[in-house]
Structure 1
Amino acid sequence: MKENVIIYFKFQGRMYNVMMKTLGEKITFSMLEDRLMTKLGLDGNKVKLHMRYNPRLFGVEEEMNVCDDEDVCVYVTSAKNNRRSVLVVEEISKPPEPEQLPEQLSRVGNSSVGKNYTELNSEEDEMRVDDGALIVLLEEEQGTQHQLEAIVEDHGTQEDETRYDESMDNSDRGEQYVESPPAVEPGMFKKEWEDGIGLTLRQEFPNKAALHEVVDRAAFANSFGYVIKKSDKERYVLKCAKESCSWRLRASNISTTDIFSIRRYNKMHSCTRLSKGSSRLRKRKGNPQLVAALLHDHFPGQLETPVPSIIMELVQTKLGVKVSYSTALRGKYHAIYDLKGSPEESYKDINCYLYMLKKVNDGTVTYLKLDENDKFQYVFVALGASIEGFRVMRKVLIVDATHLKNGYGGVLVFASAQDPNRHHYIIAFAVLDGENDASWEWFFEKLKTVVPDTSELVFMTDRNASLIKAIRNVYTAAHHGYCIWHLSQNVKGHATHTNRDVLAWKFQELSRVYVVADFNRAYDGFKLRYPKATKYLEDTTVKEKWARCCFPGERYNLDTSNCVESLNNVFKNARKYSLIPMVDAIIKKISGWFNEHRMEAASGSLENKMVPLVENYLHDLWVFAEKLKVVELNSFEREYVVTCDKGIDYTVSLLLKTCSCKVFDIQKYPCIHALAAFINIMDDEDRRRGLELHDLVTKYYWAELWALAYYRTIYLVPDRSQWEVPDEVKALKIVPLSKKPKKGRKKMLRFPSTGEKRPKRQRTQNKRRPRQSCQWLLFGNTPI
């Protein structure tokens, strides 16, 4: 293989690097200087570079200067343990070069004073020059210089040398300077040109496809065509498409391996790109492999690449090849497969991947289910850091599923909590074959191994029948609430003769009422205004599943599944990947969130006892709470009556953390009435008896517990080349899913759900035939 030499150098206090694509012994001083000039954007005609380095020899502190090819070779080959000294480069301006007279015409130190100038015009001493020469005659007389110029132009004469009379006495002549005409090179056809591949003899490639890809890219980039003469398991022979061209390439495999080595190679083309043979290039078309190779160069190691339309322009600009939209799209997917493996490999290697995931993240729980034919069915992943962090989180889980778009079908399921500062906190995720009874029950059985069933636990989901059934069968002690947004969309679909969007908004406002008495009055008005929608609501569900004041569990501010719905959009592109790249993208995003929120939790001071969301809320509420009237009822039980600005009295118990407005009871942090009661006793130590404001807030909103939720690091699975998997894990066989081909163009957007409206494209105006209306029928196209 050809060895590339990377040289790091320092210029004007900044570090740079260049890569010399040749062997270190072949690098010359001029080659290195030109490469550095190009990197720094300097003009070689105006400046030159001074290079030096520290040889790092024992007892030697002086620096070595790099002045010639031998110095360059010593510097490049002086690397020890793949390390060499940094090259220090300085810019030196070149001094202006003085114009010098030809040596045979120099008159420096000679004087013409006292000479007989009449003799200079004699025929014997006449100077003979070519017809195309330019003669400048200089004379000096008594300190005054007279310049005479004789210019003779004849463009037909192109001789390079000027003849002089041997008998002419130069000491008796004035100063003469003869300027030769510029040399004109005769026109020549281009003889040979390099292919730009840069191969070397004995260079090895992992397989024949890799060699073909390199040659194919160079052929497109440098606009030449080639013909495959022989191609089999042992040989790969190419020649130029032009019969008379000398370009050749021959490679053969090494022993019984797939490695191909360059045996014969002539990199020079003797044809021209205008020849008929090279015009075969125009008939060749780009392929997905070519597109993928170009994407690897411009977006190295990235799964997210531009859309196909941008890729088409990129291929046209860089390689001069036009590819279709479908080719660009297949090349985009091919680039992902090169990085993370094909979809089939993802299913086969999922056991090894899960083993490495548990190895780098302690406490991680994974499950994999196969059918009777060892074909993939389900996979479940719960990271150890998330499982441990959920112990200090509010016990509310939002569960939802979204469809995959990788051609194999199935759904991606998330079980996510919400941290006290209202950030995503994914506890577990899974890939299932669909939303059915068997898959949902399997998911919740595995979730139960990491999140136990308790009466404190609350699930928030949509009203999928299989999902509701699975929660009821697996989590018998937990509470289950319905997403009010999904329910509002269903309710408004059963209303008639009304604005359905207003109905959905009124229903959501109804569901968020805190006090039961207020809810009953509002519900009666809603029932009177929308009887059909209310009938559908009563026939399909009960108030305890959606009304905040009637819900038996503690769900805090969470009454929708929007938390997980937004996750579906976060992983919109990842859902197009195959299995392992998709799981890798999800873990990478969770790891990034942990790091970001860990720094956010650590940014507060010791005085910040609560999370920013609650602390800022109470800070803004303070100015209104201190203006309310407070009457103490029982100092021992810490009970108070607070009168609001509307004259309504509310009973507050700081000991029980309750208020008759029910906001304190449900949200678990002080409402405006509880805050007013605390302000009333804040300055009296006897009445306050060590009570602090953060004591009125549930522990799940404490900044200390918030930081504990993110204290662990989530590590990514290393590259396949670094996997250390036992043989018994490798021996496990998994049959990939069968791809489900569908007719027509792939659908990228889901079907709209019940009651959902999508913005329509505005109707374009037809200027030649305006839209017909009653005005058009009466008056035509004439404006009135």
Structure 2
Amino acid sequence: MKASCRKNYDVFKIRYFNSEHTCPVRDRILTKVQATVGFVSGVTVPKLVNHKRIHTPKDIIDDIREFYGVQISYQQAWCAKERALEMLRGKPSDGYKKLPRYIYMLNNVYPNSYIRMHKSVEDEFMYLFIALRPLMRGFDYCRPVVVVDGAHLAGAYKGTFLSASTLDGAGCILPLAYGVVDTENDCSWTWFFEQFKNAFGEREKMCVVSDRNESIMKSVRIVFPTVPHYACIWHLWKNVCGNFKRSRNTISDLFYSMAKAYRKEDFDTLMAKVDKVDHRVKEYLEDAGYEKWSRVHSTVNRGRMMTSNIAECINGCLVEARQLSILEFLEEVVPSSEFIFSVYEVGRRYIVCLERKECTCGRFQLDEIPCAHAIVVLKDKNVTDMHPYYSDYYKPDTLAKTYEVPMVPMPDKEDWSVPSNVVDETVWPPRYKRLAGRPRKRRKKNADEKIIVKINCCGRCGQEGHNKRTCTFFPKEK
């Protein structure tokens, strides 16, 4: 580019300009650019909205290098991820501060639920128990078999997630109650079972199934002294394998067949085969008590729930959520029906109900057409025909019927043929008083309407307040 100053003026005139550059854009713009932790965290936030997505510091390093051509260290990427997570979810301690509000809202959304929180003398969180009313009512129509289990949380404050569940008549998992405790021990499990008893009571022929956790067994004996406690046959078999490694491959099928046998004759036949393979295994299973793990020897009917797998399934679905704060973790636990779904957009959650054709964004029910959140749900459920979720007003058949009756032009006035009684009918115009002055042709604007004042711009310099003839920015040629 070449430019020169005009004589006696502070104005430069460009003589020559070449807009084509031979050097790369990266060399001209990103020379010696450094990516700060704040910049990297802002770029990383959208990729961490979904907590189930794995995005490691190494991925962040690759993204910054690919899109911006800047190399950052692993420490910078790690700090940026931590800051991005704090921007999205806040501090881990904030979840505990918001628990009272969360419990209040749960009681409003699910009236007559049983929700209890226990704190220490210093108001520090200890235990939380949640039994929602829909789940409490659903248990009345299920077999009184309760499967309990715990899973450790991986957040900043750790803790343990406790759950109680059962199977419905269709063989699907029905969560009954859940909660969070600071530590899994005798006191926490006893408190959990006490709350469970207050919420659900003690049904006839009720039983509890769990792994061979000592705290669970002690707590059941304390809170439910008349309710039998059964061991998960899978955990019992783990103990058998640990004590008798040589016989585990031979006895495996025999053990599970014995546990699930419906007749004592079949059980005795299988146990005789086990005795031939290794009599020590038979003695171990006798000491454990047949009624604790065998279906045919149980004192109450435990149905198909021979293991604690349904509780393990719930824990497995919450593996990624265990790293969240306690409030976000509890939000993942709340169950929905087969018609209700949660959709996240830019960090905000929208509730979509396909049965009632509603979404909390308001568009689905007002426009009567699936909104973006409903479309995401329908696609996730592999629904190809979305016509049932549209209003009839939008369908082609309705649109065709709208214009089914054609509009024809009126005949000429000379061709009008009307009866005499219509011709003789008298109609006078309304009373009218003309106002003084010239009639207004434009609408009178209200005081709150914005008045746009058009300002002239110069045709030479483009500035406002003057025109090309009075422009002083560029001097006139003499």
Give the TM-score normalised by structure 1.
0.39
Post-superposition CA distance 1:564-592 (Å, at most 9, x none): 112111111001111111111112xx125
Q: Is the CA contact 2:258–2:266 (under 8 Å) kept in the aligned structure 1?
A: no
What is the 5 A alignment of 1:212-361? 273=29, 279=32, 281=33, 284-287=34-37, 289-297=38-46, 302-308=50-56, 309-325=58-74, 327-361=76-110
Counterpart residue type for residue 177 of structure 2: A
The 1:382/1:295 distance shift into structure 2, 3 A limit, reads farther
Counterpart residue type for residue 574 of structure 1: A
* Separation (CA, whole Å) in 1 of partners of 2:220 and 2:204: 13
1:446 matched to 2:195? The reply is yes
1:549 matched to 2:296? The reply is yes
Of residues 527, 531, 537, the one that matches 2:275 is 527
Ranges in structure 1 where 5+ consecutive residues have no aligned partner: 1-183, 191-221, 225-271, 597-711, 719-784
* Separation (CA, whole Å) in 2 of partners of 1:438 and 1:304: 33
Question: How far did 1:297 drift?
Answer: 4.0
Q: Partner residue of 1:362?
A: 111
* Separation (CA, whole Å) in 1 of partners of 2:302 and 2:92: 40
* Separation (CA, whole Å) in 2 of partners of 1:716 and 1:536: 57
* Separation (CA, whole Å) in 2 of partners of 1:307 and 1:383: 34
Counterpart residue type for residue 591 of structure 1: S
Percent sequence identity over matched residues? 28
Counterpart residue type for residue 322 of structure 2: R
Q: Secondary structure at the match of 1:337?
A: helix
Q: Partner residue of 2:157?
A: 408
Q: Partner residue of 1:609?
A: none
Q: Is the CA contact 2:45–2:85 (under 8 Å) kept in the aligned structure 1?
A: no
Q: Is the CA contact 1:453–1:476 (under 8 Å) kept in the aligned structure 2?
A: no
What is the 5 A alignment of 1:48-67? none
1:477 matched to 2:308? The reply is no
* Separation (CA, whole Å) in 1 of partners of 2:360 and 2:201: 28
* Separation (CA, whole Å) in 2 of partners of 1:594 and 1:363: 23
1:591 matched to 2:331? The reply is no
Q: Is the CA contact 1:292–1:335 (under 8 Å) kept in the aligned structure 2?
A: yes
Q: Is the CA contact 1:405–1:575 (under 8 Å) kept in the aligned structure 2?
A: yes
Question: How far did 1:535 drift?
Answer: 2.7
* Separation (CA, whole Å) in 1 of partners of 2:252 and 2:359: 43
Q: Partner residue of 1:509?
A: 257
* Separation (CA, whole Å) in 2 of partners of 1:414 and 1:481: 16
* Separation (CA, whole Å) in 2 of partners of 1:593 and 1:490: 39
Q: Is the CA contact 1:492–1:503 (under 8 Å) kept in the aligned structure 2?
A: no
* Separation (CA, whole Å) in 2 of partners of 1:317 and 1:570: 34
Aligned length: 329
The 1:435/1:534 distance shift into structure 2, 3 A limit, reads farther
Counterpart residue type for residue 533 of structure 1: V
* Separation (CA, whole Å) in 1 of partners of 2:26 and 2:17: 27
Question: How far did 1:487 drift?
Answer: 0.5
* Separation (CA, whole Å) in 2 of partners of 1:421 and 1:329: 46
Counterpart residue type for residue 458 of structure 1: C
Q: Is the CA contact 1:380–1:446 (under 8 Å) kept in the aligned structure 2?
A: yes
Q: Partner residue of 1:465?
A: 214
The 1:325/1:576 distance shift into structure 2, 3 A limit, reads farther
* Separation (CA, whole Å) in 1 of partners of 2:132 and 2:18: 73
Post-superposition CA distance 1:413-438 (Å, at most 9, x none): 11111122222211111111222110
Q: Partner residue of 2:475?
A: none
Question: How far did 1:325 drift?
Answer: 4.6
* Separation (CA, whole Å) in 2 of partners of 1:319 and 1:364: 52
| Higher-Rg member (1/2) | 1
Q: Is the CA contact 1:292–1:332 (under 8 Å) kept in the aligned structure 2?
A: yes
Of residues 580, 583, 599, the one that matches 2:327 is 580
Counterpart residue type for residue 95 of structure 2: S
* Separation (CA, whole Å) in 2 of partners of 1:484 and 1:460: 10
Q: Secondary structure at the match of 2:280?
A: helix
Q: Is the CA contact 1:360–1:717 (under 8 Å) kept in the aligned structure 2?
A: no
* Separation (CA, whole Å) in 2 of partners of 1:501 and 1:329: 46
Q: Is the CA contact 2:274–2:281 (under 8 Å) kept in the aligned structure 1?
A: no
Q: Is the CA contact 1:455–1:477 (under 8 Å) kept in the aligned structure 2?
A: no
Question: How far did 1:334 drift?
Answer: 4.0
Q: Is the CA contact 2:145–2:207 (under 8 Å) kept in the aligned structure 1?
A: yes
Question: How far did 1:515 drift?
Answer: 0.8
Q: Is the CA contact 1:428–1:447 (under 8 Å) kept in the aligned structure 2?
A: yes
Question: How far did 1:511 drift?
Answer: 1.0
Question: How far did 1:335 drift?
Answer: 3.6
The 1:513/1:717 distance shift into structure 2, 3 A limit, reads farther
The 1:577/1:555 distance shift into structure 2, 3 A limit, reads same
Q: Secondary structure at the match of 1:392?
A: coil
Of residues 418, 421, 433, the one that matches 2:182 is 433
Q: Partner residue of 1:397?
A: 146
Q: Secondary structure at the match of 2:272?
A: helix
Question: How far did 1:472 drift?
Answer: 1.2
The 1:365/1:535 distance shift into structure 2, 3 A limit, reads same
* Separation (CA, whole Å) in 1 of partners of 2:359 and 2:134: 13
Counterpart residue type for residue 558 of structure 1: M
Question: How far did 1:223 drift?
Answer: 7.8
Post-superposition CA distance 1:41-96 (Å, at most 9, x none): xxxxxxxxxxxxxxxxxxxxxxxxxxxxxxxxxxxxxxxxxxxxxxxxxxxxxxxx
Q: Secondary structure at the match of 1:414?
A: strand
Counterpart residue type for residue 295 of structure 1: T
Q: Is the CA contact 1:365–1:381 (under 8 Å) kept in the aligned structure 2?
A: yes
What is the 5 A alignment of 1:128-207? 186-187=17-18
Structure with more helix by fraction: 2
The 1:438/1:298 distance shift into structure 2, 3 A limit, reads closer
Give the TM-score normalised by structure 2.
0.62
The 1:531/1:591 distance shift into structure 2, 3 A limit, reads same
Ranges in structure 2 where 5+ consecutive residues have no aligned partner: 1-14, 342-354, 362-478
The 1:421/1:223 distance shift into structure 2, 3 A limit, reads farther
The 1:332/1:532 distance shift into structure 2, 3 A limit, reads farther
Counterpart residue type for residue 572 of structure 1: V
* Separation (CA, whole Å) in 2 of partners of 1:542 and 1:327: 58
Question: How far did 1:188 drift?
Answer: 6.5
Question: How far did 1:330 drift?
Answer: 4.9
* Separation (CA, whole Å) in 2 of partners of 1:480 and 1:327: 52
Counterpart residue type for residue 148 of structure 2: V
Of residues 229, 241, 245, the one that matches 1:492 is 241
